[in-house]
């Protein structure tokens, strides 16, 4: 390895919420951190309302509160009640949220049965736009001295006894440790030879913004049908699932004709789609790495486990990974960690992901 390359304590692949939050945790311990992100532009319509909305769980909210991030994350909701723009807020009963699509409502929640919550101003649930969450975390990371390099996705790496040499976008970087936070199709996971096992999808999910000639044929809100499920918010925001075994996901372009065909099949109507403004697909594929660490390479977030995005499962699990891993890796690098501390990251977080 070249001697002139700067050696960072930790190189993180991926500048999503998990990678950025982990970078902040490591900087709290005074480590030097480099974040490499494939995308040059962090902004995307899919990270904004309506499709970029994610629910945050109580442990995530409390973690942000403890780190002094919660006020900045909640700022847009104070300025305008974003949650009222979501389809679930159009329903007669006030939703409390959902887990993997299974809804529950505020009138059935008894918070007095939660004896283990620490007292504090953090709420038990909230929604946030992914774009805003990433902006807040990136700003905090930069202010703390994290180096973020965009347009540089990790292509591969080599381990040695003293560190990891990372190849990204034709450049070479060195770190004492490499953390893969680079998503469900993680290059770090594949290049590291991590085994990834689980269950294949049962459906293809669609999130689309469309124009329709006869939108009155769809009933607003969440609707379960004999052939699937859809939610509809006027004038043309639709999420739907088609139980095709995930056959369509990322296999061909999403056309207005295809969306119309699936929408008719799922809704049982003959609604006509006249325009397609925005579209993406997703599945309920559930896979998990059998190990989260190999040598000096560690996985976190979607790189370690993938789930249906319903309910924000992957986001909340990944942020929990970062909170668990950060201080343990920092103590390991400093040399003051007790035996087995870093191994406890896997033994504690793998069952949660599972």
3-state secondary structure the chain: CCCCCCEEEEEEECCCHHHHHHHHHHHHCCCCEEEEECCCCCCCHHHCCCCCEEEECHHHHHHHHHCCCHHHHHHHHHHCCHHHHCHHHHCCCCEEEEECCEEEEHHHCCHHHCCCCCCCCCCCCEEEEHHHHHHHHHHHHHHCCCEEEECCCEEEEEEECCEEEEEECCEEEEEEEEEECCCCCCHHHHHCCCCEEEECCCCEEEEEEEEECCHHHCCCEEEEECCEEEEEECCCEEEEEECCCCCCCCCCCCCHHHHHHHHHHHHCCCCCEEEEEEEEEEECCEEEECCCEECCEEECHHHCEECCCHHHHHHHHHHHHHHHHHHHHHHHHHCCCCCCCCHHHHHHHHHHHC
- CB burial string 330-353: b at 16+ within 10 A, e below: bebbeeebeeeebeebbeebbeeb
Residue 90 confidence (pLDDT): 52
Residue 281 confidence (pLDDT): 95
Range 73-82 contact pairs with CB under 8 angstroms and sequence separation of 24 or more? 73/128, 73/132, 73/133, 73/136, 74/126, 74/128, 76/129, 76/132, 77/126, 77/127, 77/128, 82/49, 82/53, 82/127, 82/129
Q: Any idea which residue has 């774009």 for tokens?
A: 131
Query: Of 3.30.70.2450, 3.70.10.10, 3.40.80.10, 3.40.190.10, which CATH number belongs to 204-283?
Result: 3.30.70.2450
Superfamily of domain 7-197+287-353: FAD/NAD(P)-binding domain (3.50.50.60)
Residue 117 confidence (pLDDT): 67
Q: How far is CA 69 from the centre of its chain?
A: 18
Q: Any idea which residue has 């003959």 for tokens?
A: 270
State the 10-residue block means of pLDDT for the chain, 354 residues long.
Answer: 71 98 97 96 85 86 93 78 49 66 77 70 78 96 97 95 93 97 97 97 95 94 91 94 93 95 96 96 96 98 93 91 98 96 98 96
Residue 3 confidence (pLDDT): 46
Residue 101 confidence (pLDDT): 67
Contact criterion met (CB below 8 Å) for 303 and 14:
yes
Residue 5 confidence (pLDDT): 67
Q: For the whole model, what pTM was predicted?
A: 0.88
Residue 82 confidence (pLDDT): 47
Rg (alpha carbons) of the chain, rounded to whole number: 21
Shared fold status for 7-197+287-353 and 204-283: no
For the chain, the structural domain boundaries read: 7-197+287-353, 204-283
CA distances from 144 to 11, 24, 26, 66, 232 (A): 16, 7, 10, 16, 42
Residue 52 confidence (pLDDT): 79
């Amino acid at each position: 390895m070249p001697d002139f390359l700067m050696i960072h304590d930790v190189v993180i692949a991926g500048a999503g919420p998990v990678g950025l939050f982990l970078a902040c945790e490591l900087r709290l311990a005074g480590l030097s951190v480099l974040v490499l992100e494939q995308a040059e532009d962090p902004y995307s319509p899919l990270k904004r309302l309506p499709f970029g909305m994610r629910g945050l769980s109580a442990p995530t909210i409390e973690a942000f509160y403890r780190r002094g991030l919660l006020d900045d994350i909640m700022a847009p909701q104070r300025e305008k009640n974003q949650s009222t723009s979501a389809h679930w807020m159009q329903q007669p009963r006030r939703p409390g949220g959902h887990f993997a699509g299974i809804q529950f409502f505020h009138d059935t929640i008894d918070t007095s049965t939660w004896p283990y919550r620490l007292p504090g101003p953090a709420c038990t649930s909230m929604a946030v736009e992914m774009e805003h969450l990433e902006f807040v975390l990136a700003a905090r990371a930069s202010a703390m001295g994290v180096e973020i390099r965009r347009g540089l996705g990790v292509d591969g790496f080599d381990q040695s006894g003293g560190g990891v040499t990372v190849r990204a976008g034709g450049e070479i970087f060195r770190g004492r440790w490499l953390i893969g936070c680079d998503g469900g199709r993680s290059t770090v996971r594949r290049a590291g030879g991590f085994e990834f096992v689980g269950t294949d999808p049962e459906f293809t999910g669609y999130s689309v913004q469309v124009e329709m000639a006869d939108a009155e044929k769809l009933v607003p809100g969440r609707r379960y049908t004999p052939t699937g499920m859809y939610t509809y918010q006027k004038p043309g925001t639709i999420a739907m699932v088609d139980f095709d075994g995930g056959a369509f996901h990322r296999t061909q372009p999403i056309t207005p004709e295809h969306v119309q065909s699936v929408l008719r099949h799922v809704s049982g109507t003959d609604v006509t789609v006249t325009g397609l403004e925005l579209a993406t697909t997703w599945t309920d594929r559930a896979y998990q790495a059998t190990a989260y660490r190999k040598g000096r390479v560690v996985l976190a977030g979607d790189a370690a486990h993938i789930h249906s995005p319903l309910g924000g499962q992957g986001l909340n699990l990944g942020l929990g990974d970062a909170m668990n891993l950060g201080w343990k890796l920092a103590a390991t690098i400093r040399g003051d960690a007790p035996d087995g501390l870093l191994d406890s990251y896997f033994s504690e977080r793998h069952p949660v992901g599972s």
